[in-house]
Amino acid sequence: MDYFFTQIFNGLSIGAIYALIAIGFSMVYGVLRLLNFAHSELITIGAYTPFVISTYFFKNTEISLLDTFGLFLLSAIVSGLFAVAFFYIGYKSVYRKSRIAVLISAIGISVLMQSLIIFFFSAKSHATVFPNLDYSMVGIFLLVMVLLLITWMLKGTQLGIWMRAVSDDYDIARLMGIKPSRVIVAVFFIGGALAGLAGCIISMQTGSINPRMGYSYGLKAFAISVVGGIGNIWGATLVGILLGMAEVLFHAFLPDEINHFSDAFAFILLLTILFYKPKGLFTKYLS
């Protein structure tokens, strides 16, 4: 029984990371109806930020717990700024004109960022240096805090009201005096910051990073967003946790001969949900 509850907790920990990434993905879609497939690289940037800081400022020495919390914040800020840069470089001129152009731009940015990371840091994996602690609770704690902050922001701040207005109707929101460009920048920054947080957690838990580490997480975040009802924050959270728990439980309790296919079984579960709910579990945006 203890083993079962341990696996449940591990599933919650992994699911929290998936949920953080999917929330950012869903927020961008909820406002812009834009699929940011370069979201994966924001995860990688968030993972590489503490590596760069620890390498060039801490000189690969053991860093303190307080420094670690500072790296969380820095990873979020750096990834958020990169997300805003992605918008201005690749999406601003085309997102209202052609969804195909946005998709191509996103793929182009993704390939470009992977190439730049490989150019500056090489294609090999790098070990990270963090305090020898159990980081399994970090993702769960941050997810709870993020949900509380986003709920408060959407319901109780001017920015949140503007976000929901732009999400409901872009043109009418603009006629009412709201500046969608400010809302878009804020949403991209928040989405990127959440991806960066997730990337930092992943690097701390796994102890290594590589230029393509964000791809699988980004792909799962997209699937989670679709099944949860793309653009719906609570749907992304619920399905993210569901996917994390399904992966861990399949891996823990399936026979050894097939438990390596736990990811495939988890995706079959998501496809089964879509079969019965093709529009996702929830449909209201930014809720």
pLDDT tens readout for residues 19-58: 999 999 988 888 887 888 889 999 999 999 988 888 777 6
pLDDT tops 70 at residue 61: no
Give the pLDDT of residue 286. Answer: 65
Give the pLDDT of residue 253. Answer: 78
DSSP label at residue 260: G
Indicate the pLDDT class of residue 186, thresholds 50, 70 and 90: very high
Indicate the pLDDT class of residue 277, thresholds 50, 70 and 90: confident
pLDDT tops 90 at residue 2: no
pLDDT tops 70 at residue 106: yes
Burial class (CB in 10 A: 0-12, 13-18, 19+), 133: exposed
Helix, strand, coil percentages for the chain (3-state, nearest 5): 75, 0, 25
pLDDT tops 90 at residue 163: no
DSSP label at residue 256: T
Burial class (CB in 10 A: 0-12, 13-18, 19+), 49: buried
pTM for this prediction: 0.91
Q: Which of 79-83, 162-166, 185-189, 197-201 has the lowest mean pLDDT?
A: 162-166
3-state secondary structure of 161: helix
Residues 20, 226 contacting (CB under 8 angstroms): no
Give the pLDDT of residue 229. Answer: 83
Give the pLDDT of residue 134. Answer: 64
Chain-centroid distance of CA 207 in Å reads: 19
DSSP label at residue 163: H
Tokens 């997102």, residue located: 95
Give the pLDDT of residue 45. Answer: 95
Range 161-169, long-range pairs (CB < 8 A, 24+ positions)? 163/30, 163/31, 163/187, 163/286, 164/286, 166/31, 167/30, 167/31, 167/231, 167/285, 167/286, 168/285
Q: How far is the C-alpha of 206 from the C-alpha of 128, rounded, in Å? A: 9
| Rounded alpha-carbon distances, angstroms, from residue 225 to 41, 94, 167 | 17, 23, 16
Indicate the pLDDT class of residue 145, thresholds 50, 70 and 90: very high
Residues 225, 25 contacting (CB under 8 angstroms): yes
In CATH, what number does 2-276 get?
1.10.3470
| Average pLDDT score over residue span 259-286 | 77
Give the pLDDT of residue 16. Answer: 92
pLDDT tops 60 at residue 262: yes
Q: How far is the C-alpha of 6 from the C-alpha of 11, rounded, in Å? A: 9
Give the pLDDT of residue 188. Answer: 94
- Neighbouring-strand partners of residue 127: 208
| DSSP string for residues in 62-114 | PPPHHHHHHHHHHHHHHHHHHHHHHIIIIITTTTTT-HHHHHHHHHHHHHHHH
pLDDT tops 70 at residue 195: yes
What is the residue-averaged pLDDT of the chain? 85
| Average pLDDT score over residue span 134-151 | 85
Q: How far is the C-alpha of 73 from the C-alpha of 197, rounded, in Å? A: 8
